[in-house]
Amino acid sequence: MDAQAPTLEEIRAARARIRPWVVETPVWRWRGDEVERACGTQPILKLELFQHAGSFKPRGALCNMLAMSAAELERGVTAVSAGNHAMAVGYAARALGTSAKVVMPKNASPARVAGCRAFGAEVVLVDDVHAAFATVKQIEAAEGRTFVHPFEGKLTATGTATLGLELCEQVAALDAVIVPIGGGGLCGGVAAAVKQLHPEVRIFGVEPEGADTMHRSFRSGKPEGIDKVRTIADSLGAPHAAPYSFALCRRFVEELVLVDDDQLRAAMKLIFRGAKLAVEPAGAAATAALCGPLRDELAGKQVAVIVCGANIDAQGYAQHITS
């Protein structure tokens, strides 16, 4: 499974293509006694929660959709997602003048469903993420829409790699970057960019215990799946790994770590207190890893953490940080 990683030339070209529709998100050095006690260092936050549609996802969605023919765009696109990718596809479809029909599990956050509809996307609700993938195939066949994958493929990775390129331009020297993993498209793309620019920087991927597809895949040496997503970080709840993103992660990621839901909640609370940011559980995953399994290993190091999204409703957020 040797995947050809996007080259730096391809990543720079992708950034130029998507530039009209994405934000160059800021980085912020998180200083303070509480964060240093919790994390063992003062991390640098890459604030991708400030991206259009509230997460990193428009980068990959736009790269895929800008590669489509005029006829494909005319027929529209479809996608499957617990929310962030669906919102990004809705945003990208509106920006490029086409239509989107997205499939989401019934337990998706009402705020994310509303967010998709606000961008003009038609939303189809199904029982779970496994059923969602099956429904998308039916939509492709019946309506001729093009499927925009939530995490797999070179175009997706090239899009997410623009985030890694930005980070390296914004921060002069890094020892490590911690990246959340759902399907692996974010981690694989960011890692590909960072490692080609700075091979000495260590890349850590973090998964929730209840959606450990990449851990299972690393152990077996091939893409693996799970029967059910069992984590509050639903936007990291990919039902399976896929060949290209798996291969990129295998090539560029030094180590994978797991965090549980209590660690995610604790990180959400810490980010709220110290950075005054209300992030979704997935957006706190990299911080949870730095405060937990990676604390001793990265103490005193120059560490960047990817704050990948903040699409959560007020009630759901309050439940997590007060539990």
pLDDT in tens, 271-315: 999 999 999 999 999 999 999 999 999 999 999 999 999 999 999
Tokens for 209, please give them: 């215990």
Least reliable range by pLDDT among 22-36, 128-142, 182-196: 128-142
Q: How far apart are the first and last CA of the chain?
A: 42
Name the residue with higher pLDDT: 132 or 122.
122
- Predicted pLDDT at 2: 61
pLDDT at position 323: 80
Helix (H), strand (E) at residue 123: strand 122-126
Share of the chain above pLDDT 90, in %: 91
Buried/exposed 231-258: b ≥16 CB within 10 Å, e otherwise: bbbbbbbbbbbbebbbbbbbebbebbbb
Give the whole-angstrom CA distance, residue 191 versus residue 206. 13
- Exposure string over 79-113, b if 16+ CB within 10 A, otherwise e: bbbbbbbbbbbbbbbbbbebbbbbbbbeebbebbb
Token pair, residue 170, equals 């914004």
On the question of pLDDT at 91 being above 50, the answer is yes
Element containing residue 278 per DSSP (H, E): none
Three-state DSSP class for residue 91: helix
| Widest pairwise Cα distance in the chain | 57
Higher pLDDT, 131 or 155: 155
Confidence band of 1 (pLDDT split at 50, 70, 90):
very low
Structure tokens at 305: 């953490």
